[in-house]
């Protein structure tokens, strides 16, 4: 699989799916700059493991919901070379609740990180890619965008549906500039996000509802992301790939 020469920005690379993407890119020699917010030590471990593969990798503390932080993240990334890829992966969820019980501060926070963050990073990325002749944006959505997450987190599902619309609309805006915009919709993937939302046993509890009968691994999502970033996916844009074992 050929990757464009240049740097890939991965948001939320200190853990889970983002860390697996950083690892998969480093294994292919793609220079990568990733962000984290709270877990500096975990970020350093990811960066060290990637550096052991001989690939330039940089970890930057940057909250994707902060415009100033996002600008700084891209400025740091450019020091490794022109930005030709973005993986809009940083995302948060919240404890299970019905819509009638959800407070507005929670909805705002989910939208700030999952939607505003994705827009800010996409804007910074395509501005640079248009100047340097093209690139690829991969948005990490969720099967929740389609399933709706009733009784769990409809607000999170709605934030991911917004991400899917960003993929379709932005792809059409920038296609002529040599920029592809695509997405992945992970299903039940074994990462910390479930414990962070107060339900560490979620994958084990629900995995029988997956046609393939198991939860997925972060590396399985990362492989789809890496393919979408590569020239092997050169005619794929404005679409989102389910990586969910059929669920």
Please identify every residue annotated as catalytic: 156
Please identify, using beta-carbon distances, which residue of 17 and 129 lies nearer to ligand NAP: 17
DSSP 76: H
Helices (H) and strands (E) in the chain, counts: 10, 7
Binding residues among 104-163 for ligand NAP as defined by CB under 6 A: 113, 117, 140, 142
Does the footprint of ligand NAP cover residue 239 (CB under 6 A)? no
From the list 5-13, 119-127, 129-137, 170-178, the region that binds ligand NAP by CB under 6 A is 5-13
Does the footprint of ligand NAP cover residue 196 (CB under 6 A)? yes
Complete DSSP assignment for 210-229: STTSSPBPHHHHHHHHHHHH
Rg (CA), the chain: 17
**What is the closest distance, in whole angstroms, from the C-beta atom of residue 134 to ligand NAP in the complex?**
25
Distance separating alpha carbons of residues 71 and 184, to the nearest angstrom: 24
**What is the closest distance, in whole angstroms, from the C-beta atom of residue 32 to ligand NAP in the complex?**
13
Does the footprint of ligand NAP cover residue 245 (CB under 6 A)? no
Does the footprint of ligand NAP cover residue 89 (CB under 6 A)? yes
Contact 79, 73 (CB under 8 A): no
The side-by-side arrangement of strands in the sheet containing 179-186 is 57-61, 32-36, 7-10, 83-88, 135-140, 179-186, 240-243
Does the footprint of ligand NAP cover residue 15 (CB under 6 A)? yes
**What is the closest distance, in whole angstroms, from the C-beta atom of residue 99 to ligand NAP in the complex?**
19
Q: Give the sign of the dihedral formed by CA 119, CA 10, CA 66, CA 125.
A: negative
Site string for ligand NAP, 37-56 (x = CB under 6 A): xxx--x--------------
- What is the number of alpha carbons within 13 Å of residue 196 lying toward its C-beta? 11
What are the residues binding ligand NAP (CB under 6 A)? Answer: 11-18, 35-39, 42, 63-65, 89-92, 113, 117, 140, 142, 186, 188-189, 191-193, 196
């Amino acid at each position: 699989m050929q990757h464009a020469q240049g740097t890939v920005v991965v948001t939320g690379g200190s853990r889970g799916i983002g860390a697996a993407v950083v690892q998969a890119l480093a294994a292919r020699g793609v220079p990568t700059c990733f962000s984290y917010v709270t877990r500096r030590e975990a970020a350093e471990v990811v960066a060290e493991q990637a550096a052991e593969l001989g690939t330039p990798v940089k970890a930057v503390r940057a909250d994707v919901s902060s415009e100033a932080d996002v600008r700084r993240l891209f400025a740091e990334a450019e020091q490794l070379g022109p930005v030709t890829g973005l993986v809009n992966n940083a995302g948060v969820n919240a404890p299970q609740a019905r819509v009638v019980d959800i407070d507005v501060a929670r909805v705002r926070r989910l939208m700030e990180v999952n939607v505003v963050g994705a827009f800010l990073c996409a804007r910074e990325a395509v501005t640079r890619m248009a100047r340097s002749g093209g690139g690829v944006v991969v948005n990490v959505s969720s099967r929740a965008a389609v399933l709706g997450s009733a009784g769990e987190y409809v607000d999170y599902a709605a934030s991911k549906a917004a991400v899917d619309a960003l993929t379709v609309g932005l792809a059409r805006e920038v296609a002529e500039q040599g920029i592809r915009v695509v997405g992945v919709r992970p299903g039940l993937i074994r990462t910390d996000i479930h414990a962070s939302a107060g339900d560490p046993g979620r994958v084990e509890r629900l995995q029988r509802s997956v046609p393939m009968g198991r939860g997925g691994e972060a590396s399985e999502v990362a492989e789809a992301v890496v393919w979408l970033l590569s020239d092997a996916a050169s005619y794929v844009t404005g679409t989102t790939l389910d990586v969910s074992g059929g669920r």
